[in-house]
Chains A and B, each alone.
Chain A
Amino acid sequence: MSTSISLTLKIWRQSNPADKGRFKNYTVKDISTDMSFLEMLDVVNEQLTLAGEEPVAFDHDCREGICGSCGTMVNGRAHGQLKGTTLCQLHMRHFKDGDTIVIEPFRARAFPVIKDLVVDRSAFDRIIQAGGFISVNTGSAPEANTLLVPPHNAEKAMDAAACIGCGGCVAACPNASAMLFVSAKVSQFALLPQGRPEAARRALGMVRSMDTCGFGNCSNHRECEKSCPKEIAIVNIARLNREYVKASFASPES
């Protein structure tokens, strides 16, 4: 049964990257608990538009929890308090009438704020360009059983490949480190035979790119794992560390 709640929202407003930014308070009434968090923000924006004010800018696309576009800090947690959920899949039934919700953008030097809650996550694209791919010849697809993959490796690779690149791990990390993201991308290939030929170059390239982008270092706080909407585990970070050691000390790559 749907009920309605009223909320006080403390939303970060910043008109452009150079603006200092500030919190502004908004009151919203009659929010259906069946709404998603983003639908609640849509209601806020309709109100703001009608009042002639600038609507709150926030990233979103599929609203099904699979694209990785959405995400802000909700009450100090990346994607909100619900475990294993993107912000778009967080529903208002998880809030109580009269709650105050603090909504802040993901914060990291490598993720500069563009406007309000929208941050520039192109640093992730640069990391992917540094090795998050495999090189294959075009042409007809090879016979599927030419390369055998043990089922447990396929499972682990799929677990890593569940990463949607939302940046929640960076936002949740006390050091703004991108290790969980990079480790997921390195792992999904490192576990499969198709990924092995470029494994060393990939591990070195992606770690270096991550450092150049200005992300922090991993301190094994595990905040990323607890915040990840796809529940990517830190065993992937250990795998990245192994791949990095192998690439640095036992491969011709440098």
Chain B
Amino acid sequence: MNWLTAALGASVGKKLMMALTGLAFTGFLAGHLAGNLTIYGGKAAFNGYAEKLHSLGPLLKVFEVGLIGFAAVHILTGLWLFLQNRKARPVRYTLDTSPGGRTLSSRTMPYTGLIILAFVAFHLTNFTFADKTRTTIFEIVSAAFSSPIYIGIYVAAMIVVGLHVRHGFWSAFQTLGANHPKLMPTISALSVAAGLIVGFGFGLLPIFISLRY
């Protein structure tokens, strides 16, 4: 196993872990969004989806444990990389002008990441761990989004997630070595699209719920 720790502990290895776990989270977001879209179908459709999901039982548990494991790897590796990168330039530039490489999205990855972590904790306490013995998930969600503060937090958080995905998606492919003139234009465009889909797809839901219910 020595070779494995050496391979993953090096700079490129740590980036590989970020890329693989990051892509897995993109897949999770796609699934989560698809499920959430049932809200547009109304109360019965959304509660039905939640029931189906929970009927998966042990499979769902395995999935949750997997997500927690991936999150631990993504967060800890990300922090490790962030601290190493800061240490690599102890004296900052007095004047630092970009030739046009970095983007708002790429520059803010560690910070958007930490905001997402805080948001996930908030989101899980709101909905996932809420007591559902006497009520349904739909009622909890529609009650939450009757508050403008909740809507504000959720919409802002989804913009942050969209920003994170916008750089993370193409960056993962580059790190995994999938950069070729044949592929990269499509991957880059998909990355922007993924950021927009995540931002708008999730971000419009609280607004829709507050207006409709």
Interface residues of A (CB under 8 A from B): 23, 73, 75-77, 81, 83, 102, 104, 107-110, 172, 174-177, 179, 207-208, 210-211, 214-227, 234-235, 237-242, 244-245, 248-249, 254
Contact = CB atoms under 8 A, between A and B. Distances in A.
B134 interface: no
20 contacts: A73-B93, A77-B99, A104-B95, A109-B88, A110-B88, A172-B101, A174-B107, A211-B10, A217-B81, A219-B106, A220-B167, A226-B99, A238-B179, A241-B174, A242-B177, A244-B12, A248-B3, A248-B6, A248-B7, A248-B13
B98 to A, nearest CB: 6
B85 A75 contact: no
A235 B177 CA distance: 8
B101 A216 contact: no
A234 B95 CA distance: 25
Interface string B2-38: 1100110011111110000000000000000000000
B175 A220 contact: yes
A200 B181 CA distance: 24
Contacts, number: 141
Interface of B: 2-3, 6-7, 10-16, 81, 84-85, 87-102, 106-107, 109, 167, 170-171, 174-181, 184
A81 B184 CA distance: 26
A218 B106 CA distance: 11
Nearest to A203: B12
A222 B106 CA distance: 10
Contacts of A234: 174, 179
Contacts of A207: 10-12
A235 B88 contact: no
A249 B14 CA distance: 14
A76 B88 contact: no
A241 B12 contact: yes
B89 A104 contact: no
Given A221-B101, A248-B3, 16 more contacts: A81-B99, A107-B89, A107-B92, A109-B88, A175-B89, A207-B12, A208-B10, A211-B11, A217-B14, A218-B12, A221-B107, A226-B98, A234-B174, A241-B175, A244-B10, A248-B7
